[in-house]
């Protein structure tokens, strides 16, 4: 091929697009040496290719669709008492029950309370799931873990059954400790200056509500919480003993988490009066107005729970990879990719015996991988083992389709005239589009479902097929035509 | 290429279809038997049945490992190359599992641990089956839309179905469990298996020329396609086997088996039905 032919080829829009995409991808991947002389790039690795752990937690709670003839408030209070747990109205027809009951166990209780179950699904509402997510993130952050992700897996009906925690650089034992760990929560009363006396520990708090406005709609925010009977007695005794009920302004209530003050405020006059008269179980800590008030309320809620989750969870699944094993898998995956390309090259050579066909084929194939890795780096997708299997699958289907193009064009061993060539190329692309459509459709359910690790595999396969059909196959058709017509 | 001669002329459609048909029936019987004995057509692995899988690299013998984990429900040890060991535990409660993790992190700090709880496994299994079903239906719809003729479309779908059934039966025989990885491989197989079928059908229906020549031409191209895919898969299998990367090993093994059955089903089942259809006058 002479220079002018090469120029014409490169300036063909299909080929030009391929070249531009490859260059952009290399920029996106950005392979370089860091200051320690190690080869690094922008590709992010999943937990099975680096040290890390994941925990998938399942909520021991359920969301129930219901109907009742009674007033909602009465019905919920009644249910809550019968079920011995918090019952929260998600929307006018759905309740979240924060304790695990099977549908069979719930039905008689609902009937007794004057209601009926229409739907039942294990899990929690989206907003509760978000709360849990916040609490977990908070806990992980205080421990200074560098690279953590918490994702709720919410289904189409807005019910989350699972929450997944991924911690890079942490082994499984540590991960379990971090997620399971609770802080030490304490309430003290200020005596003189910044001295204070112990009143109660976090175990006296039986439940914590979500942030709310009191009075409703006033934009005065705070968090309600309930004490156990003995906790309420201890609280009253402490408040009276240290003078908080008679002189609230000089005897603040102080809340501490792991010995750090997280909240400090005087008793309200109203409460001070009531406490003089007797035990109070339901308390409310106000945090102020507006956005700042809401935010403080949210944090205080987490602190009041001392890192405990509003809903019980069990470990549904978990896993972890050590650093050396992650390295080893990375090497193996790289080897597998290179080895796959080389063997494919040999088979193609054996079939066509023509380096000028084999070389473009293998290069086109490799370019697909580069573009895919570029996209992976750009969208910060995590490369893990199933994704690598997907990449290698893309090599497989990719080369298949290049063979279809080549054979279709070379039909009967003759190099066709440009007119006939175009007809054959479009016929070949017709076959390819149908094949590609099937792969995309076959992978779609996996890409849409949260089937843990397989999502990446499916997404990469679909992306690979699309890039193939839209970019690399048309470019190959052009290149092979130039080469054959020389 | 010419290292395999595809003499489709010699055989009648019936002769072509009979071998894969017999294998398909045997495969279906095997799956039914497995279903009767275990409740699932393909034996589920830890991903679906629940349990813990541990990969360690250690020169410890089987007995030593068994002794180390005597207090835990160890149900299997298999060995790879290079001292790679794959341990399997059945389900245990959270507390027991936590103590197992600390034992493993202390004894084999380089291990890889994967644990799936029973109920989570059930959810995954249900989702995987739904995914397989939807994939297959989706594929069938695409094929029907693409060819818009009944017999050729059914031939393609039937070959894809036969591929999956035969592969599933072979998985039971070889002892590859159904896992997230192997489900992915089976889905991939749907894509791969229709590749060559589409090529074949396209050539026979849309090209001019003698039927046998079209079939032979399609075979030439199609077998190259499958061989290249096989080559890539073999490469993946060998590397993951040497490196003891279990998930890649399972995926590539299933693909390997499936591709071999695909050759059979494309060039005997699908080609046989197409030949019959053409001889009946379906192809102009």
On whether residue B96 sits in a domain, the answer given is: yes
Specify the CATH number for the domain of residue B94: 3.30.70.260
Q: Do A399 and B228 touch (CB under 8 A)?
A: yes
Out of A395, A403, A450, whose CB is closest to B224?
A403
Contact of A438 with B139, CB cutoff 8 Å: yes
Q: For the segment A275-286, what is each residue's pLDDT rounded down to a tens digit?
A: 888 888 888 888
Same domain for B95 and B106? yes
Domain boundary among B86, B116, B146: B116
Q: What is the pLDDT of residues A152-163, one digit of tens each?
A: 877 767 888 889
CATH architecture of the region A185-305: 2-Layer Sandwich (3.30)
Predicted pLDDT at A452: 58
Nearest residue to A169 via CA among A56, A55, A57, A54: A54
B111 in the same domain as B219: no
In a domain, B2, yes or no: no
Indicate the DSSP class of residue B178: B
Q: Reduce the DSSP state of residue A469 to 3 states and report it.
A: helix
A434 contacts chain B (CB < 8 A):
yes
**What is d(CA A163, CA A153) in angstroms, rounded to the nearest whole number?**
6
CATH code of the domain in which B28 resides:
1.20.1640.10
Inter-chain touch A407–B224, beta carbons under 8 Å:
yes
**Is B144 in the same domain as B81?**
no
pTM listed for this prediction? 0.81
**Cα–Cα distance measured from residue B103 to residue B107, given in angstroms and rounded to the nearest whole number:** 6
What residues of chain A lie within 8 A of the CB of B110, using their CB? 322, 324-325
Distance (Å) from the alpha carbon of B76 to chain A's nearest alpha carbon: 18
| Domain boundary, last residue among B98, B116, B134 | B116
> Could you give the C-alpha distances from A49 to A37, A322, B58, in angstroms and in order?
20, 9, 20
CB pair distance less than 8 Å for B117 and A316: yes
Same domain, yes or no, for B128 and B209?
A: yes
Residues B106, B126: one domain? no
Q: Are residues B157 and B230 in the same domain?
A: yes
The CATH architecture to which A3-50+322-484 belongs is Up-down Bundle (1.20)
State whether B209 and B220 are in the same domain: yes
Looking at the structure, tell me whether residues B173 and B222 fall in a common domain: yes
Q: Mark whether B138 and B41 lie in a shared domain.
A: yes
At B102-119, the pLDDT tens digits run 899 888 888 889 899 888
Each residue's pLDDT tens digit, A165-213? 888 888 888 888 777 766 778 888 888 877 888 888 877 888 888 888 8
Q: Mark whether B196 and B83 lie in a shared domain.
A: no
Q: Is residue B154 part of a domain?
A: yes
Quick check: A391 and A342 in contact, CB under 8 A? no
Q: Is there a single domain that holds both residue B135 and residue B227?
A: yes
Statement: residue B284 has pLDDT above 70? no
CA-to-CA distance for A42 and A29, rounded, in angstroms? 5
HSE (CB half, 13 Å, CA atoms) of A207?
A: 14
- pLDDT value at residue B165: 95
- Tell if the CB–CB gap between B248 and A431 is shorter than 8 Å: no
pLDDT at residue B77 above 70?
Answer: yes
Domain boundaries, chain A: 3-50+322-484, 52-178+314-318, 185-305
**Is B191 a member of any domain?**
yes
Minimum Cα–Cα distance from A341: chain B residue: B232
Q: What is the ipTM of this complex?
A: 0.85
Indicate whether B211 belongs to any domain.
Answer: yes
**pLDDT for res A311:** 83
Which chain A residues have a beta carbon less than 8 Å from that of B214?
Answer: none
Same domain, B183 and B80: no
Q: Do A316 and B240 touch (CB under 8 A)?
A: no
Q: Which residues of B touch A400 (CB under 8 A)?
A: 192, 195-196, 225-226, 228-229
Which two tokens mark B63?
């007995």
CB contact under 8 A, A329 and B98: no
**Host domain of residue B67:** 51-116
Q: Which tokens sit at A359?
A: 């070389």
Residue B1 falls within a domain, yes or no?
no
Least confident of A235-249, A400-414, B37-51, B86-100: A400-414
User: A residues 294-313 near B, CB within 8 Å?
Assistant: none
Of chain A residues 118-147, which have a CB less than 8 A from chain B? none
Going by DSSP bridges, is the β-strand pair A44-45/A382-383 parallel, antiparallel, or unpaired?
parallel
Q: Does A42 touch chain B (CB under 8 A)?
A: no
Whole-number Å distance between alpha carbons of B237 and B176? 14
d(CA A430, CA A243): 86
Query: Structural domain tally of chain B?
Result: 2
Q: What is the pLDDT of residues A340-393, one digit of tens each?
A: 889 988 989 988 888 888 889 989 989 999 999 999 999 888 888 888 888 887
Structural domain contains residue B158: yes
Can you give the pLDDT at residue A267?
Answer: 84
Residue where a domain stops, chosen among B64, B96, B116:
B116
Domain for residue B3, yes or no? no
């Amino acid at each position: 091929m002479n220079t002018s032919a090469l120029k014409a080829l490169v300036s063909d829009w299909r080929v030009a697009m391929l070249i531009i995409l490859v260059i952009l991808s290399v920029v996106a991947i950005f392979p370089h040496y860091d200051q320690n002389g190690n080869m690094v790039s922008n590709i992010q690795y999943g937990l099975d290719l680096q040290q890390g752990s994941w925990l998938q937690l399942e909520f021991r709670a359920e969301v129930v669709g219901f109907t009742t003839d009674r007033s909602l408030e009465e019905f919920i209070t009644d249910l809550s008492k019968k079920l011995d747990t918090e019952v929260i109205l998600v929307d006018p027809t759905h309740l979240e029950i924060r304790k695990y009951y099977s549908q069979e166990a719930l039905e008689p209780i609902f009937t007794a309370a004057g209601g009926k179950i229409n739907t039942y699904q294990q899990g929690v509402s989206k907003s509760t799931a978000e709360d849990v997510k916040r609490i977990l993130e908070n806990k992980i952050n205080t421990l200074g873990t560098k690279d953590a992700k918490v994702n709720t897996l919410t289904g189409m009906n807005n019910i989350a059954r699972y929450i997944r925690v991924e911690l890079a650089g942490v082994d499984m034992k540590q991960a379990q400790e971090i997620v399971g760990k609770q802080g030490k929560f304490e309430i003290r009363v200020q005596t003189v200056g910044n001295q204070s006396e112990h009143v109660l520990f976090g175990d006296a708090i039986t439940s914590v509500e979500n942030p709310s406005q009191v009075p409703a709609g006033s934009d005065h925010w705070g968090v309600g919480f309930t004490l156990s009977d003995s906790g309420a007695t201890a609280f009253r005794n402490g408040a009276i003993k240290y003078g908080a009920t008679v002189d609230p302004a000089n005897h603040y209530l102080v809340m501490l988490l792991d010995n750090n003050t997280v909240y400090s405020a005087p008793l309200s006059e109203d409460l001070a009066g009531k406490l003089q008269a007797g035990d109070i179980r339901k308390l409310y800590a106000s945090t102020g107005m507006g956005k700042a008030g809401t935010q403080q309320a949210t944090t205080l809620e987490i602190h009041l729970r001392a890192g405990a989750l509003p809903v019980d969870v069990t470990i549904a699944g978990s896993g972890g990879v050590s650093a050396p094993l992650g390295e080893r898998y990375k090497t193996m995956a790289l080897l597998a990719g290179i080895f796959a390309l080389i063997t494919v090259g040999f088979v193609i050579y054996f079939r066509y015996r023509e380096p000028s066909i084999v070389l473009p084929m293998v290069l086109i194939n490799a370019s697909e991988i580069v573009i895919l890795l570029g996209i992976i780096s750009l969208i910060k997708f995590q490369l893990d083992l199933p994704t690598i299997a997907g990449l290698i699958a893309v090599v497989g289907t990719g080369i298949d389709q290049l063979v279809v193009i080549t054979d279709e064009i070379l039909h009967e061993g003759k190099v066709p005239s440009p007119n006939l060539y175009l007809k054959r190329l479009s016929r070949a692309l017709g076959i390819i589009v149908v094949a590609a459509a099937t792969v995309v459709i076959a992978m779609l359910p996996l890409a849409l479902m949260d089937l843990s690790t397989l999502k990446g595999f499916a997404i990469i396969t679909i992306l690979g097929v699309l890039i193939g059909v839209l970019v690399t196959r048309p470019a190959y058709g052009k290149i092979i035509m130039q080469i054959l017509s020389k | 290429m010419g290292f395999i001669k595809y003499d489709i002329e010699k055989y009648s459609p019936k002769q072509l279809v009979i071998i894969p048909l017999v294998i398909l029936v045997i495969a279906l019987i095997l799956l039914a038997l497995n279903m009767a004995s275990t409740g699932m057509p393909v034996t589920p692995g830890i991903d679906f049945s629940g349990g813990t899988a541990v990969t360690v690299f250690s020169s410890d013998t089987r007995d030593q490992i068994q002794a180390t984990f005597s207090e835990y429900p160890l149900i299997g040890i298999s060995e790879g190359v290079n001292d790679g060991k794959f341990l399997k535990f059945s389900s245990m409660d959270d507390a027991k599992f936590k103590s197992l993790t600390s034992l493993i992190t202390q004894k084999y700090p380089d291990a890889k641990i994967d644990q799936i709880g029973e109920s989570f496994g059930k959810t995954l299994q249900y989702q995987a089956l739904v995914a397989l079903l939807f994939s297959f239906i989706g594929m069938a719809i695409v094929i029907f839309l693409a060819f818009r003729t009944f017999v050729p479309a059914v031939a393609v779908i039937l070959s894809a179905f036969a591929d999956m059934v035969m592969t599933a039966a072979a998985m039971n025989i070889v002892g590859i469990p159904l896992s997230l990885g192997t489900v992915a491989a089976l889905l991939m197989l749907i894509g791969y298996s229709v590749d060559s079928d589409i090529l074949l059908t396209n050539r026979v229906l849309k090209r001019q020329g003698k039927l046998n020549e079209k079939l032979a031409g399609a075979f030439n191209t199609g077998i190259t396609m499958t061989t290249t895919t096989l080559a890539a898969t073999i490469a993946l299998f060998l590397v993951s086997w040497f490196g003891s990367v279990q998930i890649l090993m399972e995926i590539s093994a299933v693909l390997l088996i499936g591709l071999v059955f695909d050759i059979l089903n494309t060039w005997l089942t699908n080609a046989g039905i197409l030949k019959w259809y053409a001889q009946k006058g379906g192809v102009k």
